[in-house]
Amino acid sequence: MPAAKGVKKIALTVAAAAIAVLFLFPVGITFTNSLMTGQEISIDYGPIGQMNEEAARRAASFSNLKLVPDQVTLEQYGKVLAGSPKYLMMFWNSVFMVVPIVAGQTFVAELAAYAFSKLRFHGRDRLFLVYVLTMLMPFQVTLVPNYLMADELGLLNRAGAMIWPGIFAPFGVFMLRQFMLDIPYAYIEAAKMDGAGHVHIFGKIIIPMIKPALAALVVLLFVDYWNMVEQPLVFLDDPFKQPLSVYLSSINGDTGIAFAASMLYMTPMVLLFLYAESYFVQGIQLSGIKG
User: With binding defined as CB under 8 A, does residue 109 bind another protein?
Assistant: yes
The single residue among 67, 99, 119, 190 that binds another protein, judged by CB under 8 A, is 119
Considering only residues 122, 189, 195, 240, which one is a binding residue for another protein as defined by CB under 8 A? Answer: 122
- Residue type present at position 255: T
Minimum CB distance to another protein smaller for 157 or for 254: 254
# of chain residues touching another protein (CB under 8 A): 109
> Is residue 251 a contact residue for another protein (CB under 8 A)?
yes
Tell me the window of 13-21, 68-76, 84-92, 235-243 that interacts with another protein (CB under 8 A): 13-21
For residue 142, state whether it binds another protein (rule: CB under 8 A): yes
Asked if 163 and 150 count as a contact pair (C-beta separation under 8 A), the reply is: no
Q: Which of 102, 112, 209, 221 binds another protein (CB under 8 A)?
A: 112
* 176-205: contacts with another protein (CB under 8 A): 178, 181-182, 197-198, 202
Residues 6 or more apart whose CB falls under 8 angstroms from that of 288 comprise: none
Q: Give me the phi and psi of 242, to 5 degrees please.
A: -65, 150
Query: Of residues 7, 10, 82, 99, which one binds another protein by CB under 8 A?
Result: 10
Written as one letter, the residue type at 47 is P
Cβ atoms within 10 A of the Cβ of 52, count? 7
- State the Cα–Cα distance between residues 209 and 179, nearest whole angstrom: 9
* Residue span binding another protein (CB under 8 A) among the ranges 26-34, 69-77, 78-86, 235-243: 26-34
Residue 11 CA to residue 197 CA, distance in Å, equals 54
Residue 141 makes contact with another protein by CB under 8 A: yes
CB–CB of 117/177 below 8 Å?
yes
282 sits near another protein (criterion: CB under 8 A): no
Q: Which residues fall within 8 angstroms of residue 271, CB to CB, at 6 or more apart?
A: none
For residue 246, which of 221, 229, 259, 223 has the smallest C-alpha distance?
229
Separation CA 30–CA 7 (nearest Å): 35
Largest CA distance in the chain: 81
Q: According to the binding rule CB under 8 A, does residue 279 interact with another protein?
A: no
What backbone torsions phi and psi does residue 18 show, to the nearest 5 degrees?
-60, -40
| Under rule CB under 8 A, residue 99 binds another protein | no
Binding test (CB under 8 A) with another protein, winner from 1, 54, 55, 125: 125
Residues 40-59 that bind another protein (CB under 8 A): 45, 47-51, 56-57, 59
Sole binder of another protein in the list 37, 79, 223, 279 (CB under 8 A): 223
Segment interacting with another protein, rule: CB under 8 A, options 67-75, 81-89, 95-103, 119-127: 119-127
**67 binds another protein per the rule CB under 8 A:** no
